[in-house]
Structures are given as C-alpha cells and as structure tokens.
Amino acid sequence: MSVGISGLSLYLPPYRVQLQDWCAWNDESWEKTRSVVGQSFRMRGPGQSVYTMAATAVLRLITEFEVDPQDVGMLILGTESSSDNSAGAIIVKGMVDDALVASGRAPLARDCEVPEFKHACLSGIYGLKAAIRYLSADGAARKAIVVCSDIAEYALGSTGEPTQGAGAVAMLIDGEARLLEVDLVGSGSDSSYRTVDFRKPFARFRQPPRDDGQMQDLPVFNGRYSTSCYIDATRHAMAAMLAKRGGRQSAFFAEIDRAFMHRPYNQMPTTGWVMAYLFALASDESGRKQLLEYCDAAGIAGDKLLAELDNLSPFDESVISGETDGDVYPLSRKLRQYLRGLDLWQTLVSEKLKLGSNWMRDLGNLYSGALPAWLAAGLREAVDSGLDLSGEQWVALGYGSGDAAEAIPMRVSARWAQTATRINFPEALGNPTDLTEAQYLALHEGRTGDLQPVASHAEFVVDSVGTQDRPDFQNLGIEFYRYIP
C-alpha cells in the first residue's frame, strides 16, 4: 500500500485586495512588495468563517474526486483560526453531512474520527501525518480527509498587513496515493519553544465587539525574529531527514527534483531553502571549503560565517526581551545576496521552487493551507502545461511558528496526471471582486454593512449566530450554517 495524497481541493473567498492598490493606499513600494510578498490576498467576507471555508473545500473534494463518504474514517481539521474552544472538525462534518443528505447522497461515516490539530501553520501537516498513520494501522482500507482552513489577519499599519489571506485546502489521503506518495519513515521533525515568535494569547480579545460578530484574530509577532525562527526550525527538520538518508547532506539539493515549503509570503521559501543548503554545506569538510570560497568572493569573513552557521542555539535573552531585532543570520543574508548572481541560483532555487509559485502569489498567506495549496498549484500547473512529473522526488517543508517544522520526502505517482486535472486551483481563483480602500477597511474592521456582499454559490455560509443565554437554554455565540447550492 502506497499511502499518500490522492486529491486536493480549494476554497478561496471572493474578496481580493490587489497589493498594487494596497501600496498606493499606504505609500509603499509596489516593486518591493511584489518581489518580497506577492500580488494579492483574499479576505473572508460576510457570513464566512474558518468552518464554512473548510466545509466547502471538503464538499468539493468529495464531489470532484468521487469519494464515497462512507469510506471516510477520519476527518481532520488543521487550523490556528478556530473560534470554538471545544468542537473542531465535527462542525465541518455536520455541515458536509447536511449538504450530502440534501443532495441525495450518503453522509460521512458515523464511525469517522474528527480531531482538530493546532500548531500555527504546521497544523495541517501534523494532520497529514496523523492521517497516514491512521491508514497504516487501524484505518487500513479506509480514506481520510485533512482540511486546512485559516484566516490570516494583521493589524493595519503592521509589517504583516500585506501578508494577509484566507482560504481552505482539503486533501484526500488513502492507500492509492494517486498524486503523491508520502514517505513518513524518511521524514525529519523539529520543535523548540520560541516564546514571542508568533502567538495568539486570549488577552488580545479585550477589545470592542465587531459589527459582524466575528472575532478578529490578530497575532502577536516580531518580524525579523520570526524569520530567524523559520530558518532555524527548517534547518533542524532538514538535518533530521538528511541524517536518515546518509552521505553528504549537500548532495541532496542536487538530487531532489522540487521543493515545496510553507509560504507566508513570496520570498520566505527562497530564504529558507537557500539557508538549508548553507547549513548542509557547513556539515562536512568539502562543503565548508566551498563556503569559504563563496565568502572570499563575496568579501565576507569566512570564519565568522561558519561560526554563525555552526551555532545550534542562536537565540538569547536580548531577542526575547526585544533588545535586538532577532536577525541572527546577518552574514548568511549577505551571502545569499551574492549567490543570487551565480548560475547556482538557477539550479538550486529557480528550478526547484518555480512550479506553481506564480499562482501562489495571488493567495496571500493561508497559514495551515499555504503548503498544501502550493502542492495543488504545482500539480495542476504541471498537468496543464504538459509536464511529465512521474517518479519525481519532492520534499515538502512545513513550518509552524513557535516553533516546529517537518521535512517530508514525497514521490510523484505514475498516475498523477489523470488525477491532477481534477484539482480545482484555477476555478478556486475564479473571478474575485477587487476591493476599494474603503471596502477593505470596512471588511478589516467588521463593518460588513458598508459592503455589498458577493452572491454565494455552491458554498456554506453562517446563517445566524445564537444570542440566547437563559438558565434553561443557551446557544450564545454558536454559529448556525446553511449550504447555498
């Protein structure tokens, strides 16, 4: 049995902010924003929540990939935007069941497990691993669905504002692996507590209620420090994976066909991938010699760069207390700029990270859904372009702030092309409504009455929110949903 991914389906809300417009509103450089961040991002609209987006993605997956709902033994929700502190994936199951029954189909199996996973943007990848373990044990011969659904919102004026996003990605996991065979045995993990990297403490909700009744889940974060944490975590996860392979770690970067990584904004995967390469070079004598040659050509003190890369614990109290900005790899950053001018950059970065990346520039940050969405974009772009990916070796690098990471080898199935045509990436992008500055501010601040909503079609919406708080009956704050065909 080749356990892995046999289907991918997306849902994106129809409300889009063009970053070129956003730059004009905020007097920011469009050239820099386009290069570093991307082209646009999506926003959840009136009547939408993390659960409605998740349920819509799951229903589309079941329909588009002709899944028998009774075969599904596990439904996992990966999110860091959940608004119910008790229930999780069961909310999604309930919505999907109602829509299936209403259309004359069977509901999801009653013996379907419904866990929710939470660890920042890594929650969906943890869900993927759990689903594969389930199918390899007591869930053999069943199917699992992992849905990653998130709403990335940042405060107006913050450095994270242009990296917002919203959407959901559902993955079908089974023993056929018609798209990607996942090698958990060869994977590598990392986790290390980082205190002020990126958090969502409940103290944030001491704020006036919004007109739309929704919570605004603005994170506490520190930009340069968070970038350093991403680099550090992916470094250790890659090292753990490469240690299982044996041989020179740097050789892997020539052997692997493509890499897909957590993508909070356009430039971050490039930074993380190149840094993983530098760490791999520093792990053996011949690689260190190559690094010293690069440093000499770039005018960088080689011994200081090696000391920077060799430091397994680069964070100290000055970072956590806010005394320094958290950039613990300054010489590596300078070396990356030098490497951009070499032919190496084309083979190391451009060829490995290109597939699907242009589509991803129009999604914004989907948090838990960012990596699965990129896999979907790569597969659909490849089949539309007539590329032959059969047998290619991929690596997926997931990351969650706080911080933790997973490096997972994958192999493209021989049957991938006939399945990839069903991935609805272009359809999910659709024809969105571009927001004006006033409309953007209204949505961001929850003033949905100032916005003419886009008509819903083939999706779930929040129909109402409970307000009763009697001694004998309560439904206060509970969302009630409706499917609009």
- Evaluate if residue 271 carries a pLDDT over 90: yes
E strand or H helix at 275, and its extent?
Answer: helix 268-281
Tell me the per-residue pLDDT of 405-437, one tens digit each, with 9 for 90 and over: 999 999 999 999 999 999 999 999 999 999 999
Decide if pLDDT at 326 tops 80: no
Instruction: Name the pLDDT band for 221 (thresholds 50, 70, 90).
Output: confident
pLDDT over 70 at 329, yes or no:
yes
Residue 272's pLDDT band (boundaries 50, 70, 90)?
very high
**DSSP string for residues in 60-118:** HHHHHTT--GGGEEEEEEE-S----SS--HHHHHHHHHHHHHHTT---S-TT-B--EE-
Average pLDDT score over the chain: 94
- Using pLDDT thresholds of 50, 70 and 90, give the confidence band for residue 209: low
Instruction: Using alpha carbons only, give the angle 358, 360, 361 rounded to the nearest 5 degrees.
Output: 70
Supply the pLDDT for residue 207.
65
pTM of this structure = 0.95
- Distance of alpha carbon 3 from alpha carbon 414, whole angstroms: 14
- Answer whether residue 202 shows pLDDT above 80: no
Report whether pLDDT(191) > 80.
yes
Residues in contact with 354: Cβ distance below 8 Å, sequence separation at least 6, in sequence order: none
Domain spans, the chain = 4-222+356-484
- 438-481 pLDDT per residue, tens: 999 999 998 988 888 999 999 999 999 999 999 999 999 899 99
What 3-state class would DSSP assign to 406? strand
- On the question of pLDDT at 227 being above 80, the answer is yes
Burial status of residue 3 (CB atoms within 10 A of its CB: 0-12, 13-18, 19 or more): buried
Indicate the CATH number for domain 4-222+356-484: 3.40.47.10
Rounded percentage of the chain residues whose pLDDT exceeds 90: 86
Spatial contact of 154 and 206, defined as CB atoms under 8 Å apart: no
